[in-house]
Structure 1
């Protein structure tokens, strides 16, 4: 459904357009109105608009000025001008701006509806004529699926993109599976599976993991089928290095994103469960209960030690637990190694809870040392070594939890409205104090940090896409192209166009057609 916005300084004109046009017949929704151009621009900055119907002579800002400003928000905006002036100069300027029609007041309803029909036909044909090659489709599909399964896309945008890509995401249940492997044939096999099986979708996430989303009508039957298909994938590629995890089955009407998080967590437990075929999140939950009850490991003590960055507390708890475990009847070296690995994974998950991403090789290196240990003393030394390095890493990062949250929020929402006032309200801290704290802990102002981060993202888009500069500016959070140029020149020695031309990595991308 196309979206129209109406601007006129005469309220009765706006009201009349709402009432006399059968908008639904043209598959159009009126999403807003304004009585002057400045007010219209403010609203259109947050409301997606396909068609603008505007008067040309208004106070504060003329219709022509409005059109120029609105085109910076949406270069593909279609415009219909209403005017009480049969003035050739106005008409000429309107044609220069690329309008659909210049209608004189009083408005001829038939002419208006014919203009609307012609405009929507052009927009529909433009969509049909869009040519997407397989590479572009894969990029767009991955982008949309990742944002959907992590809950980062609005329903309206999802509907539009899903329709374009033939994604049927309307079954009542889903289950996410994650596969990790260095086998280059795995991606091809998963693409083939997606092509063969309706309602199975594949993409690579930001961590490089292979992700399958299985839409389901009857989970009791279809989960078994999904596992069988994954087993067939395993048989066709390098089994030794392939780790498969299953997330929980979730209702699409609930927290469906939990399935992806659970599949990620199950991957971390792969070594603990020592299950060669796959790891199911349900087994992980059972394993957590068994471990905590059977061996009485004091996970809250470890959590407190991590939160306090206290090496001594953590080392004492490790000594206590493993001294108790080594004297537990029936304990075997294999079980001890499994529990040690589980401890390390639990600590990593604790870091995830506080959204700390340092020491990325912490698990890998520590688990290798544990599995290679020949005695319990060697094993405990390996565990302490990994935990000690982790504490050192935490102590090197002295930022307060509030600033860590602000940095993470900025990195995830850099293309949105960001200000100390907005963030201060969200995190319940006075914006002035937040500004002082941010500068004290990072060495730069919040505004400078945001601009630098946005310009870095813009440089990446200039290198890797063929997007227009004005589209890149909007994509990274600048609604005013002129301000983007100013900031770009501040942090980079040359203009955006020159930067793009000088890059050897510039590539055609679907993002020249769609914003992510």
Structure 2
């Protein structure tokens, strides 16, 4: 709503203006009133408004004097003059001050309302223009900063580009931090923008990975670390809505053109946070010793492993991993270093599937991390990595399938216990159920019914192995409400009944 301030030296007019219109319906709200121009001016300095409605003839300060004074600090304020004087001199001076209308008392209600409606339309256009300008300027700023931190702007053009979007980074040192917040609400973004915007040495933007990038540009090396620490504490203090904040900080670099190095270091430190969810902040300096220790035991060339994964050659990858873990010296590694080495492998897998933004991707990586932490031997770690690699290959294989079928498969993973049919899924994903069935069979090599039965039976086997639930409870958990049909499908896919299967465990 737009804010309205009313000034008139006659109290009954002030109270009457409150009641003669449905201000809320006009998208307006009265935020203040005064009985003379001087009192109004003092209030408007502390409590700004969008629209001023004022009388002309008032004690202490006239309405025209008030308008001139207000224009000095709020030149865009819309003004409506109410007057009992139908004199050309007042009208002419009012028009020269940019008023919206000059209305005679007693007020013509219809004309008064039309005047306010016109003002609201003008304010809406102005607001849209301002919001569009702010948006486009923000997009330009984010683009320039990201390209600079990626080393994609020629140093000769860098200063010109940064100055163009109002970012004069002129101090000697630069340090970059990456902040991940969940959930990344607009309210939190605005709070951070307000905090960093008040500090001349800090700049922030959101990069293409939806990370908040915090840039510290400063002159005194001795003060830089303390200033960054204070800022991160203050941003953490903004997490008042239950947000979870995780921070990765690159090293301080000397010179504006070295900033991409600090950004890259922050990205690497952020990867470490991915495999250590218990930590909320990590500095790149903390990883240096770890990287040196790992260098001797990690593959010199990862490309062969990447090729096998991208070719979805699980057998070849398993053999290569087995050879890697059976290499001389592996048995002598400490448990801590073995775990760190395996975590590096998880990061390698994650990089390969970084473009797959889905719940399945996160589950695949999470399961790999869990398997590694549970493994207590070299063979166990090897098996955990091979299992994760199989999941990665399966994930990549599915990404090559039809996008619609991928959506259906992802939905099945979450909702396999529900009553699912091609008709229901076709309605959900806006595709004819007959065509969806044909596409599903072509993509998966199975009919929808075959896939659903096999998937549900696999889930039933998992629950038979890992829970003490009764067979009929498990049947319902995986989507079967007729026990006879469940037994029939279980025997078809497993070869024995659920009861016999449970008895073998």
Could you say which TM-score interval applies, normalised by the shorter chain? 0.3 to 0.5
TM-score (norm 2): 0.43
TM-score (norm 1): 0.42
